Structure 1
């Protein structure tokens, strides 16, 4: 027996006749949440690529990288990324040792011999050198796992098992002993080794390998193979069952599994695809790593730009949020069928929260939740559903909106919620909490979403993006609009807005390794230029935003390849995928309730209104996303039973909030300059407090703080003093940079590659010692030669040195074109009153710079006020 949801102002969607049914039984637990299926291959590029907040939020526990100084890629060196990896959720850092070779397949696909006839197999010195560097230079050598062979069955040295089995097994022994000897020599004990590393599951090879390794006391510490193709969504559970039966047959104790490559291009960044893989691997309690198809340093296409979240990142984040819970039995409509509805269910009885992550279907979803224990949840519960949509690899995804928010009575331990869904690429987070928690309202800021192929098109072509094509990126609605390259090319659509105000148009789109421009028209009148950043290709999509004032009522919006109808704008051949219009009249604002925080140090959710109880070292961490760089009011909502004070850390930097002297509900607000994208906000209350949550707001007052020269210094890079070889350059047409009155964009290039090639930032009056944010509009399109099929991208670095003070190094990931700029925000703590900042790099070139912004980290003094609304 189930019971309908009781809504506040929003009624639940009724399940249609074609609704999919998902059964979740909270009473049947399937084990402790493992959380290792969001691992990555080359997900980290360099220290700071991705940013620490992006990495922490994604809760990446395992990653595979290249060996120190390996030649397979110019970035992704294990030693270069270990600091940021282990600073977050990192536990196991794997090394693809054969990635010391530059080519793919390795060594032209042939096993190397003994070329110099010294009696030593030529691979062993390569292997020994890599392990030696980890053993002697790593701060975490015992947390490394060495993979001596990658896809030996797939063209890398041992494809023919019938004739090469004995050679591989002998080589396994030689590699195993070499690795162990290095660690033993340095007193590091047993070195962890993973293998065999096959490109797919092979029962015969695995049987022979395990039998041999057991007999020679050389069993791997982690058993590894790959599950790449879509068909593996159907076959993996059978493979892992065979593997475990094989261990039992051979009398081998359990060896954990890591599927060190999974998924195809079409899966990355797509919530409804990723959840199918995550559910399958979590069900089997194995670790797994997304395959590396494109860029190192963006979590395998599951994060965006320098510091951003895309749809894939949010699915990783939700998955990581389940840490500490126990998974429960989930029954989807079909198990082991690719591209169907799948889910993960988990319950945390201590925190009184149940979560279901679901996606992959094209119908409404009737989620039947049974086993709802009234001793844990009470007689009624709050049900909240958030929607996470596909938004491109480089698309900026903010906090996923609430689409269902309801109170439901629990009848016979059961509750049913219907998720309104027509999007196979979307993922959903369903949360159950006691009804004493505060309800979040259903989001209303998205006032219109229009697929580009449904717009009125002129001289443009609709292209089908078949989701069955594994080597293609997915388009929203499985179609997009291209060939948008003629003077009359246009896409027009109607919107109805509820009030007169300010609206943000976000265009999901793709450009082909160059920035581009469109003319934006409102009701037939030119409004402004849309500037698109460069992307890897037309299918590798990102978002471009413009802000527009609209009166209440219906309007026709249009993007066009020409402003005047005769001259095609530079770079206008942009793929258009989807148009989203948001109401931002009251500013950009978001609420992050305590029930969604990651709690640590003894912090816990209380029965009373879902608050987090903090004291001592207890902490609550939130991951807040922002649409643009600038000042935001961050408000912490809390209650105390006496005198207390909260501390707030913003991306690791402390902000001391004002103390309160007596009991009550309070709001503590600080105006902080935040980077676009993901921001990690950590709250502690050593003297004790209960935390409701955090809100962020960027509206007129915050933008006015941006414009106040007492807070922010802005300059075109070319207006600042240069030295040495640094010089002003004129960008190619179509640049998305800051243009002068003539529409021309200039930047500063040839920074670095010598100690004297610098750009200076004189300190403005009033910008003394303290905490700052340095924001650089930067372009980096540097690549190494085409060694193999991956884009061989190179991060560039700048050292920011304060005259009389310290230096800070910042990494700039590749952003596809030298005339396409992304903001990079660098935290600085300045120690002198007037010392000039010098930007340079003594040993290599830095990025090209378009704009320079130096902002005080905190504007004004933090405030605390008694709350009247709680």
Structure 2
């Protein structure tokens, strides 16, 4: 978790290059083979776990978490001293509302020091008692997994003579937890690497002493993962089988080396591939700052290249199918899924030995004989996502696409000029594409997420863009939804243009309606004019103020009849302009109370800002005279700085503090808003909050009634959520 592991960089890559049909392959190219006829089970999405990936509620924003299908979060216990943020009680509401399944509670993080101070088992048992009772009193009690020991191979039990003591202490703590919560889910034994001899002995002891873990854990932080993962996994399962132990879920509750893996898409795809193909869980290691999804997020709402790999992973649907790399222990790896309903196969792949490698591979897809709905010719589009380190990514791009004849039940797609630090996605569909997939600013509905009765169409309709469209909307109360994840380069207004069809339908009005959401919240109900038939398409454009970075735009049915019966083709996003009014924090008309005061700094807008807000309700900044042309929902862009470092373990993790402010409008109730640390007091960043304003003049107050301060406030910009 927090142990330094140095290693050589090992990466992967896939490349661009236009593909024709049929393709000629090179005998020298390594082959990644996908067999659509070999179903390997339901998708687990197991690799989507985070250790201290969550800092506080809203750090990072829901936009960054929801699309990833999160499974496990690993966080500190309530009252834990190891880091200033990441308390399970602080982050759980956000995690669970965005689909998270369980939270592993790293119980030894109750201690402040790293390595953990050893105050004796009696001290630890007293702390265990307090933690377990607090967790068991929480409404989310059934979603916690107790992790009593973290890297015990070098903390508290750091030589072979102490191994039996570790086993005995495991039993003692295990029994203590179960005495309070009889059905507690307990995970262990949490070594920093897989030690075959130790895990054999541990399982033998645990079975004989009735203290088997419900979840088996260890870490994969070394170079050995890339060559030896299958050996680790297979040995563990063989021990279970030999001892007659029912298979435990495996959680690699920290993975990724200290340098080179996180957040590099080209390396992370290897972990994703191996964990999903083995059906195990994994949590990205915590090497830098908390609250950034382990560097998949930056500036709180912006995606690094690594984030998009996990978004692709979350987009996989159906069942996984057998994927065979050139070598089980080699660098090139992949994972694939087949959705028979959508008639789509998706493959995530990449991998090369050296960071500077540029190479090619042949992706061989066979088994089409058992998936005849693809037809005799298929379309394949290959998308790439490049490494951006900790900088924001502009998102995926189309490398190549083409049509391929299915010969003897298979196709071969050569991909050349592959970049070592990049990861790639191939989407295979029936050959019914009508336009290229790479139009700038366009998000095809058939590649978007969807829920309810919505589905990717296989009908004979024409006139659509790309390879298909979404249908299944309408019919009354079916909650069909299409969800688009789009990138906005800056805070500002954007025209969101929905292309749809709404042909004649019995029981449906000529004009239709659909509900539009942003970030999961209803924005407005769109009226969509009817089209002459279902092969005719129209466009409805709405101007919306979006936050810089990732935004989730949804279109959902909500009526009790066929009033919302439409098909969705794509969403197109283009920059627009409208009124945004800025208000400086230091303006003379504002109200400053208590310790709040105006200070100077070159990096601030106008050279001034307001600091020392909070640390008591009397110390506040109130913006006065905020004008709204009409009552309604507005977006407030807050420019702020927060460079506070807090108390915690003395190690290489930056113990950042995400300050919060109580924000109230017109003297009403306040909302608690966390502001991600900007890693320096001269680094001014923005975040967007939503408020309701009255027509005319309004006040917006920033305070903090706790013992902590709010961030320094530079200015706010006020924009109507919906533009004119």
Q: Please give the TM-score of this superposition, normalised by the length of structure 2.
A: 0.89
Counterpart selection for 1:695 from 572, 579, 589? 572
Aligned to 1:808: 671
CA distance in 2, matches of 1:19, 1:595: 31
Answer yes or no: is 1:413 the counterpart of 2:430.
Answer: no
Which residues of structure 1 form unaligned runs of 5+? 115-120, 185-189, 444-588, 861-870
| 1:377-407 CA-partner distances (Å, limit 9, x unpaired) | 12222211111001121x1112311111223
Map 1:766-805 → 2, pairs under 5 A: 766-785=628-647, 787-789=649-651, 790-805=653-668
- Give the distance between the partners of 1:654 and 1:755, measured in 2 at CA: 33
2:599 corresponds in structure 1 to 729
What is the correspondence of 1:479-498 to structure 2 with a 5 Å cutoff?
Answer: none
Taking a change above 3 Å as real, the CA distance of residues 286 and 713 of structure 1, as seen in their structure-2 partners, is same
Corresponding residue for residue 488 of structure 2: 626
Render the CA deviation track for 1:693-752: whole Å, top value 9, x for unaligned: 212111xxx13x1xx3xxx22122222442222112222x6x3x43x4xxxx32211111
Of residues 89, 93, 104 in structure 2, which corresponds to 1:94?
104
**What is the aligned counterpart of 1:836 among 699, 717, 720?**
699
* 2:3 paired residue number: none
Q: Residue 156 of structure 1 corresponds to which residue in structure 2?
A: 155
Is the 2:75–2:87 contact (alpha carbons within 8 Å) kept by the matching residues of 1?
yes
**3-state DSSP of counterpart to 1:175:** helix
Deviation string, structure 1 residues 165-208 (Cα, Å, up to 9, x no partner): 33222222221122223235xxxxx1111011111112222222
Q: How many angstroms does 1:442 deviate by? A: 4.1
Question: What is the deviation of 1:804?
Answer: 4.2
- 2:228 equivalent to 1:358: no
* Counterpart among 288, 291, 307 of residue 294 in structure 1: 288
- 8 A Cα contact 1:405 1:442, kept in partner: no
Q: Say whether 1:76 aligns with 2:86.
A: yes
- Aligned runs of 1:593-672 on 2, under 5 Å? 593-608=444-459, 610-613=468-471, 614-615=473-474, 616-641=478-503, 642=505, 643=509, 644-660=512-528, 662-663=530-531, 664=533, 665-672=537-544
Q: Output the TM-score relative to the length of structure 1.
A: 0.74
Deviation at 1:356, TM superposition (A): 0.9
Given that 2:262 and 2:294 are in contact with CA atoms closer than 8 Å, whether structure 1 keeps it comes out as yes
In the TM superposition, residue 832 of structure 1 has moved relative to its aligned partner by 7.5
In 1, Cα distance between equivalents of 2:176 and 2:544: 52
In the alignment, is the contact (CA less than 8 A) between 1:372 and 1:413 conserved in 2? yes
Q: How far 1:301 moved relative to its partner? A: 1.1
Q: 1:222 to 1:717 in 2, by over 3 A?
A: same
Separation in 1, partners of 2:72, 2:270? 19
CA–CA separation in structure 1 for the residues paired with 2:488 and 2:130:
44
Indicate the SS of the match to 1:266. Answer: coil
| Alpha-carbon offset, residue 763 of structure 1 | 4.2
Change (3 A) 1:794 1:203: same
Aligned residue among 218, 242, 252 for 1:225 = 218
Match of 1:517 in 2: none
Counterpart position of 2:147: 147
Shift of 1:375: 2.4
Aligned partners of 1:718, 1:375: CA distance in 2, in Å?
A: 68
The whole-number CA distance in structure 1 between the counterparts of 2:695 and 2:438 is 49
* Distance 1:53-1:636 versus aligned 2 partners, 3 A rule: same
Q: Is the 2:298–2:304 Cα contact (8 Å) retained in structure 1?
A: yes
> Residues 667, 639 of structure 1: CA spacing in aligned structure 2 closer, same or farther, 3 A cutoff?
same
What's the CA shift for 1:81? 0.5
Distance in 1 (CA, whole Å) between partners of 2:405 and 2:23 is 17
Q: 2:178: which partner in 1?
A: 180
- 1:716–1:850 Cα contact (<8 Å) kept: yes
- Partner of 1:659, secondary structure, is strand
**Using the alignment, how far apart are the partners of 2:714 and 2:677 within structure 1?**
15
The answer as to whether partners of 1:294 and 1:791 remain within 8 angstroms in 2 is yes
Between the aligned partners of 1:165 and 1:766, the Cα distance in structure 2 is 68
SS in 2 for 1:176: helix
Would you say the 8 A contact 2:23–2:412 is kept in 1?
A: no
Q: Match for 2:585 among 699, 717, 725?
A: 717
CA distance in 2 between counterparts of 1:44 and 1:72 reads: 15
Is 1:592–1:693's contact at 8 Å kept on the other side of the alignment? Answer: yes
Distance 1:766 1:74, change over 3 A: closer
In 1, the alpha carbon distance for the partners of 2:433 and 2:703 equals 52
CA contact (8 A) 1:402 1:440 kept: no
1:329-478 aligned within 5 A: 329-337=322-330, 340-361=331-352, 362-373=358-369, 375-393=372-390, 395-442=391-438
Structure 1 residue aligned with 2:262 = 268
Distance 1:113 1:651, change over 3 A: same
Q: Equivalents in 2 of 1:593, 1:660: separation in Å?
A: 19
Q: Per the alignment, do residues 786 and 102 of structure 1 end up closer, same or farther by CA in structure 2, a change over 3 Å counting?
A: closer
Q: Render the CA deviation track for 1:82-109: whole Å, top value 9, x for unaligned.
A: 01111112001100000000011111xx
Q: 1:166 to 1:832 in 2, by over 3 A?
A: farther
C-alpha displacement at 1:425, in angstroms? 0.2
Q: Higher mean Cα deviation, 782-791 or 308-317?
A: 782-791
Question: In structure 2, what is the equivalent of residue 113 of structure 1?
Answer: 120
**Aligned counterpart, 1:240:** 233
Question: Do the aligned partners of 2:516 and 2:526 also contact (CA within 8 Å) in 1?
Answer: no
Q: CA, structure 1 residues 796+661, in 2 after alignment: closer, same or farther (shift >3 Å)? A: same
Q: Give the Å deviation of 1:440.
A: 3.1
* Structure 2 counterpart of 1:847: 711
Which deviates the most, 69-78 or 637-646? 637-646
Following the alignment from structure 2 to structure 1, what is the Cα–Cα distance between the partners of residues 379 and 435?
A: 7
Distance 1:106 1:353 in 2: 49
**Kept after mapping to 1: 8 A contact 2:627/2:696:** no
One of 152, 163, 166 as aligned partner of 1:165: 163
TM superposition shift of 1:418:
2.5
Contact preservation (8 Å) 1:767, 1:834: no
Tell me the SS of whatever aligns to 1:74: coil
Does the 8 Å CA contact 1:59/1:89 hold for their aligned counterparts?
yes
How far did residue 776 of structure 1 move? 0.8
Distance in structure 2 (CA, Å) of the matches to 1:306 and 1:598: 22
Note if 1:134 corresponds to 2:128.
no
Distance 1:418 1:439, change over 3 A: farther
Tell me the residue number matched to 1:48. 58
1:592 aligns with 2:443: yes
1:15-48: CA deviation from partner (whole Å, max 9, x where unpaired): 6785432222212222222111121111111100
The alignment's C-alpha RMSD in Å is: 2.3
In the alignment of these two chains, the number of paired residues is 672
Question: What are the within-5 Å matches in structure 2 for residues 569-588 of structure 1?
Answer: none
